Copies of this chain bind each other. A is one copy, B any other.
């Protein structure tokens, strides 16, 4: 393919090739470059307090999920308010959170593969880590990896409560796996994980409660099987933003893993909420109108490389009769009703992301705003850490 390679042609970037920071502390929102992910700190802090108070009132631990944001600064604020620890979803994702001083981390997922297990063992010497297991061979390999590093981890056996994804398929499988884990060196059975992502997003509160009741019945069956086998189960982890109001009142969960509550998105914003819980939208995409070629439309400079569209369109804030109708690779389309006043060329607008988790993962930092003033720019240090 020819002799030209990057090594041959690379030139040191002169100062002119440096990109300016997306925002500076003290800037107003209008000075933030776009596309940007911006966090309304007042709403964010309200959300953190609302969930922490809810958990404490019912004597349940809150272990907020860091997969939602991948930003250590956010986890530190949740811990400062009383969260017991955090959840991560991937073993590499854990690294920046340990580097930030966080020492109590549950990996709410199965970790499979020699490289990942070796990393997990090294990390387990730096922090108190638990991890999910749903297979006997995987448990054995986890134990082997820990032994090789003289490390140890807690194991939560994942049970399938209707999500039909990971997890053991029956109370009998749970008991057998828990017993195996208890026999293996360097791993100890710490409890179960019972997470059902699908029911978090059911729109009707009644439907959500009904499906949740079914899941909880199944969790109880598993707990009874453990009890009959004489196996203590100190931790039952699961739950989420959509079911938090039920989770805390159940007698099964010892801790809940909610993540989105801190930010919200159009997906969670679109489900019915109990009056007792009122999470506010704190997370926004800042975009610029880069083209306005006809009165019925405007084109924004955000696309699939700054947000995702699989959970629906982002919601436009502050305009009547104007909606986001398409998200392309680098553009989003606003449709402007006849007679409505859309944003003009060069205007900056705010959008509510359709789905906060994959949106955070597309940004290197989040711009934390106090009112109209940039208070901080927080690195999303675990962005891209999906191994």
Residues of chain A from 327 to 369 with CB closer than 8 A to chain B in the complex: 327-331, 333, 345-346, 355, 357-358, 361-364
Residues of A near any B CB (own CB < 8 A): 1-6, 9-14, 16-17, 19-20, 22, 33-35, 45, 48, 67, 72-73, 76-77, 79-81, 89-90, 92, 95, 98-101, 109-113, 115-116, 119, 122-123, 125-126, 134-135, 137-138, 160, 164-169, 197, 288-294, 297, 299, 301-306, 308-310, 327-331, 333, 345-346, 355, 357-358, 361-364, 378, 383-387
**9 nearest CB pairs, A to B:** A9-B101, A2-B80, A166-B291, A304-B358, A16-B122, A112-B290, A4-B80, A305-B361, A13-B99
Are A384 and B357 in contact, with the CB atoms below 8 A?
no
Total copies of this chain within the assembly: 2
Are A33 and B165 in touch, CB under 8 angstroms?
no
Tell me the dominant secondary structure on chain A's binding face.
Answer: loop
B11 engages A101 (CB within 8 Å): yes
22 of the cross-chain contacts (CB-CB < 8 Å) are: A1-B45, A1-B80, A2-B77, A5-B73, A9-B76, A13-B98, A17-B95, A17-B123, A20-B115, A33-B115, A33-B116, A34-B387, A89-B330, A109-B290, A112-B289, A113-B288, A164-B297, A165-B291, A166-B299, A304-B310, A304-B357, A329-B358
